[in-house]
Structure 1
Amino acid sequence: MRVLSILTTAVLLAGCTSSGAVDLDRPPQPLAVGNIDGTSTPVADPVYPAYGNPSVDVLHYGLALAWAPQTKTLTGKATVKLRVLRAAPALKLDLSSPYTLSSTSVDGVAAQGRVAGGKLTVDRALTAGTTVTLVVEYQGTPAPVPMPSHRGDAEPLGLTVTDAGELWTMQEPFGASTWYPSNDQPSDKALYDISITVPEGWEAVASGTPGPVTGGTYTYRSTQPVATYLTTLAVGQDYQVARLTGPRDLPISLWTRPGKDDRFLPVLRKAPQQLEWLEARFGQYPFPSAGAVIVPSRSAMETQQMVTIGGDVLSQGTNVSALDGIMLHEYAHQWFGDAVGPAVWKDVWLNEGWATYAEALYTAERDGYDIEDWARRARKSDADARQRLGPPGNPRADSFAESNVYVCPALMLHELHRALGDSAFFALARAWVSQHAGTAQDRAAFTAFVNKQTGRDFTKLIDAWLDSPTTPA
């Protein structure tokens, strides 16, 4: 996700870094993605404790969805395979209240289920150490939930229905539960199979690798772990798809709405070059496909393998070239946030700091400025963000993903870059992703990794930038 007001300024101020030590001809190394069976180590989120259940670990979501735009009804069958980590008298997941249940079963045996207060409760006692399969059939009209933020582009979270009966969603830090039963917290990553059936003349786009389209049924599969907030769904009329080829024959799908998004296409088509730029610095793109879908939103989101971009992310008077930095930011998240992300929302800076710094380096190189000019001016934004919002290492629950978790950790990474030099810094970045892909990590793990990888103790530097109420010297 990208804070437009702060980061658009950062793009204009960005300058070029010395990149001579970055071996642009070095073949990107493939990632050894862990936990390809979907296992995770869920933990209770201290920022938004109402979401998620750390007693279970979802391994796989099978979502068979159907959308009826005339009645604005979503019908779903969710098959959820999960491990029981701690015994419980009932199975609880997150699911929004607008839905009614047709049936629920556990391991093929009918069980009483109910939805209330944003929770799905199924009356089946759970034994620690077992694996069970929950099947839920449900229907209703989706409704988003409020976003806990004061951002200029803040919108309700989750599956949103337009007046024309179209669907779109952005759901960070929560909101997946507005369209399927989920363990809606960042620490529980799972594999996905999603199918969406839509009427003739409609198209459906989702996160994951595109699969066969049969009649009006579109399919998508994620064979590498995905956090719930990184899933996406868009359903509309008259979408068109442009298919490109990226590095190493990577398939890229760009879904746009003719007549509405035409001005974005020249920038969206730069995806192969942007991914090549990222690969040269951060290693091989982590997933088997890439893409972007335009939806009627004001924001932008790094949804896994299929970036979700709001068609209103730029005002009509804004130079469309600003989208270049936005796309680079969201693609950078595929490494930092998607392949390896935060275990709790207190550490959202792990996502946004890396993506913001990657964007600063990219726009600097593109526009021929000095990265130190970016850093000097960004420090002014940092000081303001810390004064208004506090340090990035302890974000407020009512101020999710505001500017302090973007520019402040980006400057921290710049200080690491300065201390290490190009070669060691980008080696650090590549190793962080390659060694942790498919997992959720926290601040302690990042600090320990930096110190071990570099052979130097950067604990004080990291703590100062994450905890200080004022900009570190």
Structure 2
Amino acid sequence: MRRLLSAIAITGVLAAGTTGCSAPVISRAQPLPVPHAAADGTSTPVADPLYPDYGNPAIDVLHYGLALTWTPQTKTLAGRVTIRLRAVQAVRQVRLDFSSAYTIGKASVDGGDAPASFTGEDLTVDRPLAAGAVATLVVEYRGTPRTVPMPSHRGDAEPLGLTVTPDGELWTMQEPYGASTWYPVSDQPSDKALYDIAVTVPAGWAGIASGTPKAQSGSTFEYTTTTPVASYLTTLAVGRYTKTQVSGPRGLPVTVWTRTGRDDAAVDALVQSGEFIGWLEERFGPYPFPSAGVVVVPSASAMETQQMVTLGDQVAAGQGVRQVMVHEYAHHWFGDAVGPSTWRDVWLNEGWASYVEQLYVARGDTAAIERWERQARAADARLRKEIGPPGNPPADSFAEGNVYLCPALMLRELHKALGDAKFFALGRAWVRTYAGTAQDRASFIAFVNRQTGRDFTGLINDWLDSPTTPA
């Protein structure tokens, strides 16, 4: 979860000591190509050890087609989801995560009626599939969204999933699970899929979702993806919004959605999104997706939802909003383009984004990044003692400070050992090699050693597993 975290508030100490930007590390005139994942959304699902009740590794979802209609007067969400999936192994039923707050209407598999019912918070469709079989499941549903508790002690922890505001608007933040509060889904990070989302809203309202915007048709807003998305990285917001269109590097379209009359003070920072992305491109290569954006919602947090950052209004109004935006956009390289295969490796997301955020705050001021390192080491010792090392986070302490700060310090050690050129080349190559996939610790270590020609196995494992701060 890429939300504003009080445990790393030491970043504010650095801001007073920063200087101007350093020279670009790579030239934008020589962009590095980023390959796409399988065009059909094929993944390698892995059972999640932290939250085994979510996700179904027996199936691989290839594509979700969502047609949603929101009626604020009755607080009713009506949906029709078309899911193309592949059976990884023979199954007697198709099981998906889905909130029992909804009533199921028609359900079919490959055009034939199929009985669908709830087993707890799972939707089961009685249709056996042979190993390797590809099928199309269609489910219609209706109800009022209901959130689920977040398994964390964070100061900004909020209920997960689709939230209904008192005035009938919608918004969601849903890491590590919570997508299942608004559509049937295999809610685990390893099962990435392609999406098409259509949202029909009242006249004068906007429906905002993750993905590349398509032409609006009446009160229906449509979005599509060409790069697979993990379910926790999808987003939905419905309400009275003002749209601001800006351009990023190389003409990248960036859409800024602010709540009409409520987020005016945040606009100046958010329309700088193109500059933030440009700074990241200079270090890590081209932005991995065809469009970018940010939507403000009534929340205390922020989330790197793919192609459309979900930003809490409390964060948007804060003095640190620019560095938070850099953190969230950094995730589009580290977490979105290449994500963790299980939640045990959430440090892969948070370590990179946290360290890149500090590089942005310091911006070439060596003394500033060294001050951060000293302060971070002191905080690291406390976090390891209170929560544990980042390589094996407790299930009830999701996305707490240890998975942000401790791996950021590990990356700092790699940076010092390699120097600027090789370190940023390492980050670019990681995304270029694995874009569209989910990876784990073993693959990261093997990649670092292969890319650098040096053995960093001990250093990485020490930082991820030691109960005390490594020397």
Give the TM-score taking structure 1 as reference length.
0.96
Q: Does 1:457 pair with 2:455?
A: yes
Where do residues 161-180 of structure 1 align in structure 2 (5 Å cutoff)? 161-180=164-183
Q: Partner residue of 2:259?
A: 257
Cα distance in 2 for residues equivalent to 1:19 and 1:244: 25
Amino acid at match of 2:376: A
Amino acid at match of 1:67: W
User: Which of 352, 355, 368 is the aligned partner of 2:353?
Assistant: 355
Q: Does 1:67 pair with 2:70?
A: yes
Cα distance in 1 for residues equivalent to 2:208 and 2:23: 40
Identical pairs, percent: 63
Amino acid at match of 2:60: D
Secondary structure at the aligned position of 1:346 is classed as helix
Cα distance in 1 for residues equivalent to 2:277 and 2:5: 21
Contact 1:340–1:433 (8 Å) recurs in 2 = yes
Cα distance in 2 for residues equivalent to 1:351 and 1:395: 14
User: Which of 84, 89, 107 is the aligned partner of 2:87?
Assistant: 84
Q: Partner residue of 1:374?
A: 372
Q: Partner residue of 2:247?
A: 245
Following TM superposition, by how much is the alpha carbon of 1:366 offset from its aligned partner in structure 2, in angstroms? 7.5
Cα distance per residue 1:371-391 (max 9 Å; x no partner): 111111110111111111000
Secondary structure at the aligned position of 2:372 is classed as helix
Q: Does 1:149 pair with 2:147?
A: no
Cα distance per residue 1:177-197 (max 9 Å; x no partner): 100010000000000000011
Following TM superposition, by how much is the alpha carbon of 1:9 offset from its aligned partner in structure 2, in angstroms? 1.9
Q: Partner residue of 2:445?
A: 447
Structure 2's unaligned 5+ residue stretches are none
User: Which of 109, 122, 136 is the aligned partner of 1:119?
Assistant: 122
User: Which of 288, 291, 300 is the aligned partner of 1:289?
Assistant: 291
Following TM superposition, by how much is the alpha carbon of 1:445 offset from its aligned partner in structure 2, in angstroms? 0.2
Cα distance per residue 1:289-332 (max 9 Å; x no partner): 00000001111000000000011226x7xxx4310110000000
Following TM superposition, by how much is the alpha carbon of 1:266 offset from its aligned partner in structure 2, in angstroms? 1.0
Q: Partner residue of 1:182?
A: 185
Secondary structure at the aligned position of 1:240 is classed as strand
Q: Partner residue of 2:468?
A: 470
Amino acid at match of 1:4: L
Cα distance per residue 1:195-226 (max 9 Å; x no partner): 01111121110000011111110000011100
Cα distance in 1 for residues equivalent to 2:24 and 2:75: 55
* Structure-2 change in CA distance of 1:11 and 1:36 (3 Å): farther
Q: CA RMSD in A?
A: 1.5
Cα distance in 2 for residues equivalent to 1:60 and 1:235: 23
Give the TM-score taking structure 2 as reference length.
0.97
Following TM superposition, by how much is the alpha carbon of 1:23 offset from its aligned partner in structure 2, in angstroms? 3.1
User: Which of 320, 323, 326 is the aligned partner of 1:325?
Assistant: 323
Following TM superposition, by how much is the alpha carbon of 1:10 offset from its aligned partner in structure 2, in angstroms? 2.2
User: Which of 37, 56, 65 is the aligned partner of 1:53?
Assistant: 56
Where do residues 416-427 of structure 1 align in structure 2 (5 Å cutoff)? 416-427=414-425
Tell me the number of residue pairs that the alignment of Structure 1 and Structure 2 aligns.
Answer: 468
Q: Does 1:342 pair with 2:340?
A: yes
Where do residues 402-441 of structure 1 align in structure 2 (5 Å cutoff)? 402-441=400-439
Contact 2:22–2:364 (8 Å) recurs in 1 = no
Cα distance in 2 for residues equivalent to 1:85 and 1:368: 50
Following TM superposition, by how much is the alpha carbon of 1:19 offset from its aligned partner in structure 2, in angstroms? 5.4
Amino acid at match of 2:394: R
Cα distance in 1 for residues equivalent to 2:36 and 2:219: 33
Q: Partner residue of 2:40?
A: 37
Cα distance in 1 for residues equivalent to 2:352 and 2:409: 10
Cα distance in 1 for residues equivalent to 2:467 and 2:31: 38
